[in-house]
Amino acid sequence: MRRSHLAGFAPGSPRKLPPLAALRAFEAAARHGSFKHAAAELAVTPTAISHQIRSLEDQLGLSLFERRARQVSLTEAGARLYPVLREGFDAFEAAIGRITRAASRAQVTISATSAFTAQWLVPRMAGFRNRHPDIDLHIYASDDAVDLADDTVDLAIRYGRGPYPGLVTEIMFTDQFAPVVNPRFGPLSLDDLDTVPLIHFHWRRPHPLNPTWEVWFAQAGLPWTSPPGQLRFSDEGHAIQAAVAGQGIALLSLALVADEIGSGHLVQPFGPALDGHTYHLAMRPDRAAAPGVVAAAAWLRATPGTDTEPAPRSR
């Protein structure tokens, strides 16, 4: 059996430590090399520091300081104890600083689908930090709709037709889907569709209006023959990566691949474009006026890639 490094110390048993006040007095005196300066830091008298350290020495049965007129110096035992206490108190100070700073900062948690998070939110998060450096932004990526009754999420980006009863919602933008492909394939026309692999992804929620290749072929006035060599992915993000990698032509959200099209990694060789579903901001009525939620919603409205017209709100 593996032996724990805490063997011999029963969980829950009291620690055999001197009083914290005595340890603080010793650490401050050792750091300053002066009982007087330690007393000033701890807002007590030099006599009180001397008594605390004397009590500590009596408890340990060791001398920690050599006392001379107007000067004190560490003994060998004191020199061994001081760095351990210094590091311990430094760690206490750092931990307390972290939790108090975190508690004093505003936080907002946004929930969105994995693909929207990776392709749309993450590339634009610097804009939020520039606007609100004092707010911690948490992103919760999930392809399952998060229950906003759970206090862990402040604002959700819902993708669908709505409505969303019981929530304050507003439209961000309506999506469009079109064929996109790596430009290495060169100029393509509708006649080339039987020479380039078609890339599909699985829609988690079946809907007759989901943009699919079958629907697109019908809209383009072409017969759907289910050509061979197709690629199918369970995740939309993987379909996007496959298209960027030049694995074929994909019917993808123009909102989610806007950056790839802008950088030239993907091109839209032809139409038509199909209407997709709508991205909505969704908030609980009791959270819609919270400062972090207000800031995040304003940032999302003003972020390039969203509609610029005032968005309708509903409950």
**pLDDT tens, residue by residue, 61-96:** 999 999 887 788 999 999 999 999 999 988 888 888
Q: In the predicted model, what is the mean pLDDT of residues 152-176?
A: 88
Burial (0-12, 13-18, 19+ Cβ within 10 Å), 103: exposed
H-type alpha helices, the chain: 20-32, 35-42, 46-60, 76-104, 114-116, 122-131, 213-219, 236-244, 258-263, 291-302
How many CB atoms neighbour CB 138 within 10 A? Answer: 13
Do 293 and 108 contact (CB within 8 A), yes or no?
A: yes
Residue 160 confidence (pLDDT): 86
Architecture category of domain 175-276 in CATH? 3-Layer(aba) Sandwich (3.40)
Residue 314, pLDDT > 70, answer: no
Evaluate whether 20-102 and 175-276 have a shared fold: no
Residue 103, pLDDT > 80, answer: no
Residue 9 confidence (pLDDT): 43
In this predicted model, what pLDDT tens digit does every residue of 50-61 receive, in sequence order?
Answer: 999 999 999 999
Residue 85: what residue type? L
89: which DSSP letter? H
Q: How confident is the model at residue 179 (pLDDT cuts 50, 70, 90)?
A: very high
Segments making up each domain of the chain, as ranges: 20-102, 106-174+277-314, 175-276
CA 78 from chain center: how many Å? 45
Three-state SS at 198: strand
| Nearest of 283, 277, 272 to residue 313 by alpha carbon | 283
Q: How confident is the model at residue 5 (pLDDT cuts 50, 70, 90)?
A: very low
Architecture category of domain 20-102 in CATH? Orthogonal Bundle (1.10)
Task: Return the top range by mean pLDDT from 20-29, 140-149, 157-166, 182-191.
Answer: 20-29
Residue 304 confidence (pLDDT): 66
CA distance 133 to 299: 13
Report helix, strand and coil shares of the chain as percent, to nearest 5.
40, 20, 40
| Nearest of 275, 117, 111, 254 to residue 207 by alpha carbon | 275
Residue 170, pLDDT > 80, answer: yes
Work out the mean pLDDT of the chain and round it to a whole number. Answer: 85
Question: The pTM is what?
Answer: 0.62
Residue 106 confidence (pLDDT): 77
Could you tell me which CATH number the domain at 106-174+277-314 has? 3.40.190.10
Q: In the predicted model, what is the mean pLDDT of residues 233-237?
A: 92
Residue 218, pLDDT > 70, answer: yes
